[in-house]
Amino acid sequence: MNIITHIYFTYQLSKHIIKLEREDNMFKNINIVVGITGGIAAYKLCSLISYLKREGANVDVIMTKNACEFITPLTIETLSGNKVVSDMFEKKDYMEVEHISLAQKADLFLIAPATANIIGKVANGIADDMLSTTIMATNSKVIFAPAMNNGMYENKIVQDNIKKLKKYGYKFIDPVHGNLACGYKAVGKLADTNTIIEYIKELLEIK
C-alpha cells in the first residue's frame, strides 16, 4: 500500500467514525492496549481506536502477523498516534522488554477481533508471539471481543476455552448475529463499536 492509497483509506475510514457524542475526554489519562488479530473485522478497530484517542485515552496497539494482512500498521499508527508493536524480535534503540512494558502500562486490555486462535492460546497458557505474551504478563482487566465463522464459534473446544477464560476472570463481549465473511448469516459477527465502548466504560466505571 503506497502513501496515497493509505491517506485515501484513512480518509474513508474517518467518514465512518462511530456516532457517539463527545463526552469531554472521558478516557483522559487511561492507558488502553488494543490487540488486533487476523480477522476480516480488523478494519472496524479503526473507528474504535480513533474514538478512544479523541476521548483522551493513550492507545497502544499490538497486531499479530495475520492482522497485518487485513489492515496496515501504518493506518493504525496514524489513528492511535503510537507505533504499532508486532514483532517480538524487532531491534530497539533502547533497553526495554516490550511485552512487559505494555503489560504493566495497561489500565485495560482489549482483544478485538478475537479469533479462535488467540482465545485458545491464552486459555491453554501458550505465549508464542507479542500479543499472547503481553496478555499473559498483564494484571489489567482483559476483554475479548470474538469474531469468527459461526461453526468455529459454536465449536465445543472454542466454547470450552471461553468458559475457562471466564472462570479466570477474563471478560467477553459476545459476537452478534449478522452477515459473516463466509456468506452465512449467523452468530459470529464482531459486536458493534458502540457496544464495545459502553462495555469499556462500564468496566472502567466511567459514567
Active-site residue set: 182
Please give the single-letter amino acid code of residue 139. Answer: N
Distance of CA 92 to the CA centre of its chain: 24
> CA dihedral defined by 189, 165, 104, 93, rounded to 10 degrees?
-60
Q: Which residues contact 107 (CB under 8 A, 6 or more apart)?
A: 30, 31, 32, 140, 141, 204
Q: Cα–Cα distance between 33 and 30 in angstroms, integer?
A: 10
Contacts 24+ apart (CB under 8 A), 1-4: 1/72, 1/74
Say if CB 91 and CB 47 are below 8 A apart: no
The DSSP bridge pattern shows strands 141-146 and 171-172 to be parallel
Give the CA distances from residue 34 to residues 53, 111, 147, in Å, rounded to whole numbers and listed in that order: 12, 6, 15
